[in-house]
Chain A
Amino acid sequence: MIKVRIPTPLRPLTKNQGEVDVAAGSITDLVNTLEASYPGIKSRLCDDSGELRRFVNIYVNEEDIRFLKGKDTALKTGDEVSIVPAIAGG
């Protein structure tokens, strides 16, 4: 299983869970699996073509997937995935 950290703005979609466990072999797989359990989450993370939106980062074990293989980044049991919302303010 992969441990996925869910940031505060997405917790209303995950029944307020800050961490969820998902079985997935890649980031694409993980996003689709999350979407099946928590409908609506995929469109918050990815644009219509499936690319990661510019106001979110996904880290696998502290490395940004943009510097790995993007949405094709492979995952293995024990990996930790953090969904990180943009730094923001008013």
Chain B
Amino acid sequence: MADLIIPRQILDDIITHAKELTPYECCGLLAGTNGVVSHLYRTKNIVAMEGAQNLSSFDSAKAAHLERLSSAERAEIAFVMDMQDFSSAKKDMRNNGLDLQVVYHSHPHDPARPSVTDIKIATDYEEIWPKINLPIPAYLLVSLMNSEPEVKTYWIKSGSVTPADVLIR
């Protein structure tokens, strides 16, 4: 039994989202029931908004790095999810009896594996999910660094990363 089942159409939609935004990072959420994904929610990457990096869990070196870049450059190497979009998605999930299954984002210039920043923030977020009544999601990454997009999904728990077993159908 796979950890997650993702329909081919939804996987294609994620890749389309990533390509539309490249060279900037895209981000979004997948929801479903019992590990079967049925819904995709695109969310805006608002890393370019003033102060956004200060309220995310970026480590001080990453925050300082982002501070030195232009707005456009920031969105090439980082994402901050629009939490209004997140809340709307969360409400829709609740109204439809769905659970959050996956948080996805793209790496336009880097491989489809979590960066040090991704791991740190996912680890910080572990204590938040239960407090907002959501399960700890898997993390899906789309890399566009090569001509063929690469998609990989991981569990990030207590700072360690393990591949998730995903069935695409």
Q: Of all chain B residues, which has the CB nearest A89?
A: B118
| Chain A residues with CB below 8 A from B105, complex form | 89
| Chain A residues with CB below 8 A from B122, complex form | 89
Q: How far is the CA of A5 from the CA of B125 in the complex (A)?
A: 13
Across the interface, do A84 and B132 meet the contact criterion of CB distance under 8 Å?
Answer: yes
Residue interface mask B115-132, A partner, CB < 8 A = 1: 111100110110010011
Known: A8-B57, A44-B51. A67 touches B87 (CB 8 A): yes
Residue interface mask B64-91, A partner, CB < 8 A = 1: 0000000000000111111110110011
Known: A57-B83, A62-B133, A66-B87. A87 touches B125 (CB 8 A): yes
Known: A67-B91, A89-B105. A55 touches B78 (CB 8 A): no
| Chain B residues with CB below 8 A from A7, complex form | 57, 124, 128
Across the interface, do A88 and B79 meet the contact criterion of CB distance under 8 Å?
Answer: yes
Tell me how many residues of A have a C-beta within 8 Å of chain B: 26
| Chain B residues with CB below 8 A from A85, complex form | 55-57
Across the interface, do A5 and B52 meet the contact criterion of CB distance under 8 Å?
Answer: no
Across the interface, do A55 and B131 meet the contact criterion of CB distance under 8 Å?
Answer: no
| B62 at the binding interface (Cβ < 8 Å) | yes
| B47 at the binding interface (Cβ < 8 Å) | yes
| Chain A residues with CB below 8 A from B82, complex form | 54-55, 86
Across the interface, do A9 and B54 meet the contact criterion of CB distance under 8 Å?
Answer: yes
Q: How far is the CA of A84 from the CA of B51 in the complex (A)?
A: 15
Known: A59-B132, A89-B79, A90-B116. A54 touches B46 (CB 8 A): yes
Most interface-central of B51, B55, B82, B103 (chain A CB within 10 A): B55
User: In the complex, how many angstroms separate the beta carbon of B122 from the nearest chain A beta carbon?
Assistant: 8
User: In the complex, how many angstroms separate the beta carbon of B120 from the nearest chain A beta carbon?
Assistant: 9
Q: How far is the CA of A28 from the CA of B79 in the complex (A)?
A: 28
Across the interface, do A90 and B118 meet the contact criterion of CB distance under 8 Å?
Answer: yes
Q: How far is the CA of A90 from the CA of B119 in the complex (A)?
A: 9
| Chain A residues with CB below 8 A from B78, complex form | 88-90
Across the interface, do A87 and B132 meet the contact criterion of CB distance under 8 Å?
Answer: no
Across the interface, do B52 and A57 meet the contact criterion of CB distance under 8 Å?
Answer: no
Residue interface mask B130-160, A partner, CB < 8 A = 1: 0111000000000000000000000000000
- Taking Cβ atoms with an 8 Å cutoff, the residues of A that contact B are 5, 7-10, 43-45, 53-57, 59, 62, 64, 66-67, 82, 84-90
- Taking Cβ atoms with an 8 Å cutoff, the residues of B that contact A are 25, 27, 46-47, 49, 51-52, 54-58, 62, 77-84, 86-87, 90-91, 103, 105, 114-118, 121-122, 124-125, 128, 131-133
